[in-house]
Structure 1
Amino acid sequence: MSDGSSDWNGTAGHEPGWMSRLGELRIFGELGALAPALPALLSAPRGDGHAVLVLPGILTGDESTFVIRRYLEELGYAAHPWKQGHNWGPSRELHEKLRLRLRELHERYGRRISIVGWSLGGIFARELAREFPFAVRQVITLGSPFGSDIAIDEDAGPEAIAQRRTPPPVPCTSIYSKSDGIVSWEACRELPSPETENIEISATHMGMGFNPLVLWAIADRLAQPEGEWSPFDRSGWHGFVYG
């Protein structure tokens, strides 16, 4: 499509305009909503307490995923940081370190690991799951533009970019916002398959790591029994706040 809009073939979509970028100032409202929402968030479904690896977005590090990890720990999960410093973008060295991090956790717990990735971290998460599906239980991405033309290593060409748009062979949930002021929301949507889904929320890109609706959706998805994945249930109040 020549106008850059999205379709199910993975077209990247429109980049956010300046109004959308200004909308990222709503992050302060998301911060303010977190504390009042905590009692409800702590009533979220609890799973089997398996390990979850949380990957940060570009230019950020483990400090940015602290709220996600602390919340998951309160729900009984073994939540782990990536321990790679700040995310300065893709490199072969980083890719190898993430392989080793996943292997370490997989061997420590003797079971598959869920991965939550924010923005570029979500792209890394999907590629780890593609390479090591036996070690990954499910992937949850937050505003991750895996449908864009961004290269994730030095020698990525058109074939690698096309492959990245194809979901890895594990359950994948994309949480995205049409008011994202940093990345194209169209590029954040999974292609339809029996084990993929897209959950639309109202959030800023920079606030997804502590937006109450995002946190609840993460908890809901992680609580599913291994091997019994099913799409997000939009009945009841979910239907009013999730797209």
Structure 2
Amino acid sequence: MSVTNLSANAGSFRRNEADTTIRGAVARRLELLRDRAPQGAQGPDRRLLWSELAWLAEPLMRQFREPMEVARAEHPRVVMLLPGFGTHPMRMRYMACQLERAGHKVKRWGLGFNLGPTEENFAALSQRVEQITARYGQQVVLIGWSLGGVFAREIAKRHPEHVAKVVTMGSPFSGTPYANNAWRIYQLVTGHSVEQPPIEAQLALKPPVETVALWSPRDGVVSARSACGRPGERDRAIPLRCTHLGFSNSTEAITVLLEELERF
């Protein structure tokens, strides 16, 4: 057999293998679309979802408001912001700017869009937290929005020696993983069930560092009970009045975060 034929056969094999992989991924997602939430498990009232659209107008409305007052931090911290599912760190840029105005050093998580957990991105995130700790000589405060908060809690469980505190914002860590209005989209994107993530995790187990949960009764995506958690699953829970998508640019949320960064 000639070299040309060998090359052609190898190329054909790779294409067939890729086709099989794609078909398998599509079939798996179609199967997941047929899933039903367990009886009694439900997300927030669907009417709250409409209020989530307000975040689209937030950057424009901000132009007509007085700039947020930010006091200089007495104890500057090193902070990592972890974005929510399907979002990019740029969606948390306004929050980052306010924390930086106070004198805190704010770092991105380094993984781009949050498209769900894998052992690979958890390993990369663990390495980044370790490197930041070594570079700045202090533990990192992890602030996670929605799924980013779940990531933050799990990283703190794996590497508590590198984490000073965890603050979650509308993160679904308590109760059933179906207690939100996004679980179908999550399964469609990730290709795995919310009940069977590709990593070992006990979501409700509190990390061995101070853990604060910010939650809102106006959250149209994640159940308030799921984001608030139960005693023992977090150290403190603080209610806010923002929407789920509004956590990242809420003046109230940022104010609370600035207070938490001073509270050690």
Give the TM-score, by structure 2 length. Answer: 0.72
State the 1:151 CA deviation: 4.7
State the 1:188 CA deviation: 0.7
What corresponds to 1:177 in structure 2?
A: 216
Out of 148, 153, 169, the residue aligned to residue 197 of structure 2 is 153
What corresponds to 1:76 in structure 2?
A: 103
Give the TM-score, by structure 1 length. Answer: 0.78
- Structure with bigger gyration radius: 2
Structure-2 separation of matches of 1:76 and 1:97 = 27
SS of 1:97's partner is helix
Out of 66, 70, 92, the residue aligned to residue 93 of structure 2 is 66
Structure-2 separation of matches of 1:171 and 1:208 = 20
Structure-2 separation of matches of 1:179 and 1:59 = 20
Q: Which amino acid counterpart does residue 131 of structure 1 have in structure 2?
A: R
Say whether 1:26 aligns with 2:54: yes
Q: Which amino acid counterpart does residue 262 of structure 2 have in structure 1?
A: A
Structure 1 unaligned residues grouped into runs of 5+: 5-12, 230-243
What corresponds to 2:190 in structure 1?
A: none
Q: Which amino acid counterpart does residue 247 of structure 2 have in structure 1?
A: M
Higher helix fraction (1 or 2): 2
State the 1:114 CA deviation: 0.4
SS of 1:164's partner is coil
What corresponds to 1:223 in structure 2?
A: 262
Say whether 1:110 aligns with 2:147: no
Superposition RMSD in Å: 2.3
* Aligned residue runs from structure 1 range 113-192, under 5 A: 113-147=140-174, 148-149=176-177, 150-151=194-195, 153-154=197-198, 156=200, 160=201, 163-192=202-231
SS of 2:76's partner is coil
Structure-2 separation of matches of 1:133 and 1:152 = 24
Instruction: Give the count of matched residue pairs.
Output: 209
Q: Which amino acid counterpart does residue 255 of structure 2 have in structure 1?
A: W
State the 1:49 CA deviation: 1.3
Structure 2 unaligned residues grouped into runs of 5+: 1-37, 178-193
SS of 2:247's partner is coil
State the 1:195 CA deviation: 6.8
* Aligned residue runs from structure 1 range 3-42, under 5 A: 4=40, 14-27=42-55, 30-31=58-59, 32=61, 36=65, 38-40=67-69, 42=70
